[in-house]
Structure 1
Amino acid sequence: MDNNSILLIDPTFDPASASTCNLLVKVGLDSFSYAIINKETKQVNAVFDEQECDNGAQKFAERLKTDSYLKLPYQEVKFAIHTANTIAIPNDLYNEANLESHSQFFTESHSGNLYCQAQNHFGFTTIFTLLRAIDKTLEEFTYAKKYEQNAGLIQLAEKLDGYNLLLDFTVASFNVLFIKNQQVVFQQCYEIENTEEFNYYILLIINQLNINLQETALNLTGIINKGDEKYHCLLKYFSKADFISVDTDLNQEVLDDMPAHYYSSLLALNQCV
């Protein structure tokens, strides 16, 4: 492990039991993490996390060559991957027979595979495409399910009512999800170099979305702690901030020495269908 990565693993985990386990992988803009969950015992067997990557997708590709845990024959594999080409289509406008018609709204041109991710709880379908290099890397995971990076965060949002701003942090970026009465109003990913830049984006989000600071609950997950600069920055505008944990019966003893909210959005992928 280098200074930016950790591997937490249950000493009793037997790689031979992989066929009863799920592999959850999250490839961010500047981070890469995965978790191994035993479906029978409902135990988190391992969590790997690497922050401050120059390129999360490249780091995953490199790790795939050397990490034997990524190559085990799992029961199910799920990937949540950052991409600039993603759009949410309301279900009444979604045209499954002609997915290409929706791609005209992508930020960048594309010439790869189109993927769909139904968000039936919120009434829309996410359509996205991945970089060719990522598609190439994932070729060996023939039966893997692929999701847009925010899939775990959206899963966490399903249990929330009213007005909610959810922020999912890495060391150098954060994902935003704004929910109004069970409707997704806004989602985006921002890179940040310092607290001043983070403050700018928070003010931009508040002002552009006309967020009522008294009515909106602030929910945090990922690499953020009480007392750090980003946390204090948020409390300039919101009266309080709540940390989100995964609402499951998973045994997470392997994470006992870590803040419970660090890997909530990663573990929430286990509930994505």
Structure 2
Amino acid sequence: MDELVFVDSTFDTNKTKEYTLSIQLGLDGFSFSIVNKLKKCIALNRFISFQKSSDNQPLASFTEIVRNNKILNLDFEEILLQWISNKQLIIPSDFFSEDFAYESFQLSHSLAENESLLWNEISELNAWLVFSMPNDIKEFVHSHFSACQLFHHSFPFYRKALSQKPAEVHPPVYVNIQNNFFHVIIPDRNGKHFINTFSYTADSDLAYYILNIYKQQKLNNERSKLIVDGFIQKDSKVILLLKKYLGQVELKTLPLEYQVNNQITPKEYNQFINLLNLSKCE
């Protein structure tokens, strides 16, 4: 349990059948949280990086870590996993079908032979979120975690943003930042939401894309609040740069009661927000 950065006093390994295990997994590593029936986080595990010595290393690393982790071998009431990737697509429900999903996805992204498509329904959008996942990782997850539900990591991000009361005049801009890409959604009270994903290589690129979104969507730089979460810190260059041009920049952070390990940076804590929201959104 050395990797646990937060453990509530009520956490009991003998009662895990009453808990929900949520896992956040990507090709570079994973983390997990445990919540009770009241949707209260009672355990939080720090991000564990994978070794990168070969193409199959993510699966090998994940398999070894999971099999040697006592907590991840306990029985849980529910197990949820969100896959981190920039390969995703939203299709309106009126057009959705398995064939259309495969056809549309491959117009925007490459689908490798060792990947398959999955999809999550976003009822607030009346749409389906389609994403790809490596078959070997998916097969291990299903074999080790019985009845595990799979989601794309943007699923709780979009649903959380859409659950907020729509703005009458100046809509907020929600941004979830990952390594080398970010998701953005601007909820619209008339249902005409702006949703997109952008790749970036430097802080200046990230700031440029966000400011260009404000310009293209004709948003008021002083009135439309930018709300950011993910792999970001409040003193990062991109946040300081954006504050020069935008009147309201809010960095979402994990509640202080969960930040109990001083060796974990705020950047790591911020990435847990979607993980904790997953159990509340599914």
TM over 0.5: yes
Displacement of 1:213? 2.8
Instruction: Kindly tell me the number of residue pairs found equivalent between the two proteins.
Output: 261
Residue 22 (structure 2) aligns with? 24
Q: In 1, Cα distance between the equivalents of 2:117 and 2:132? A: 5
Equivalent residues of 1:24, 1:269 under 8 A apart: yes
Residue 101 (structure 2) aligns with? 102
Equivalent residues of 2:181, 2:198 under 8 A apart: yes
- Correspondent of 1:153 among 157, 179, 200: 157
Q: Unpaired runs of 5+ in structure 1?
A: none
Cα RMSD, aligned residues only: 3.3
Residue 8 (structure 1) aligns with? 5
1:272 partnered with 2:265: no
Equivalent residues of 1:44, 1:252 under 8 A apart: no
Gap change, CA 1:132 and 1:266, over 3 Å in 2:
same
Equivalent residues of 2:222, 2:248 under 8 A apart: no
Alignment of 1:66-105 (within 5 A): 66-95=68-97, 99-105=98-104
Q: In 2, Cα distance between the equivalents of 1:29 and 1:233? A: 30
Identity score, percent = 19
Alignment of 1:182-197 (within 5 A): 183=191, 184-188=193-197, 190=199, 192=201, 194-197=202-205
Q: In 2, Cα distance between the equivalents of 1:207 and 1:51? A: 37
Residue 132 (structure 2) aligns with? 129
Render the CA deviation track for 1:229-266: whole Å, top value 9, x for unaligned: 121022133212123368xxxx9844356868552211
Please say which of residues 13-22 and 217-226 is displaced more in the overlay: 217-226
Q: In 2, Cα distance between the equivalents of 1:180 and 1:130? A: 27
Amino acid at match of 2:136: A
Displacement of 1:121? 1.1
Render the CA deviation track for 1:27-55: whole Å, top value 9, x for unaligned: 24645221111225834223322469769
Render the CA deviation track for 1:165-219: whole Å, top value 9, x for unaligned: 222235x445322223154422325354x42343344345445655553453211
Amino acid at match of 2:141: L
Equivalent residues of 2:161, 2:187 under 8 A apart: no
Amino acid at match of 2:46: F
Displacement of 1:90? 0.9
Q: In 2, Cα distance between the equivalents of 1:138 and 1:91? A: 28
Question: Secondary structure of 1:39's partner?
Answer: coil
The TM-score, its normalising length taken from structure 2, stands at 0.76
The TM-score, its normalising length taken from structure 1, stands at 0.79
Q: In 2, Cα distance between the equivalents of 1:175 and 1:109? A: 20
Q: In 2, Cα distance between the equivalents of 1:123 and 1:22? A: 26
Equivalent residues of 1:24, 1:77 under 8 A apart: yes
Gap change, CA 1:174 and 1:61, over 3 Å in 2:
farther
Residue 117 (structure 2) aligns with? 114
Q: In 2, Cα distance between the equivalents of 1:187 and 1:176? A: 6
Question: Secondary structure of 2:96's partner?
Answer: coil
Displacement of 1:145? 0.9
Equivalent residues of 1:27, 1:57 under 8 A apart: no
Q: In 2, Cα distance between the equivalents of 1:124 and 1:8? A: 36
Q: In 2, Cα distance between the equivalents of 1:39 and 1:223? A: 28
Gap change, CA 1:100 and 1:71, over 3 Å in 2:
farther
Q: Unpaired runs of 5+ in structure 2?
A: none
Q: In 1, Cα distance between the equivalents of 2:150 and 2:260? A: 29
Gap change, CA 1:200 and 1:127, over 3 Å in 2:
same
1:213 partnered with 2:216: no
Gap change, CA 1:203 and 1:252, over 3 Å in 2:
closer
Question: Secondary structure of 1:236's partner?
Answer: helix
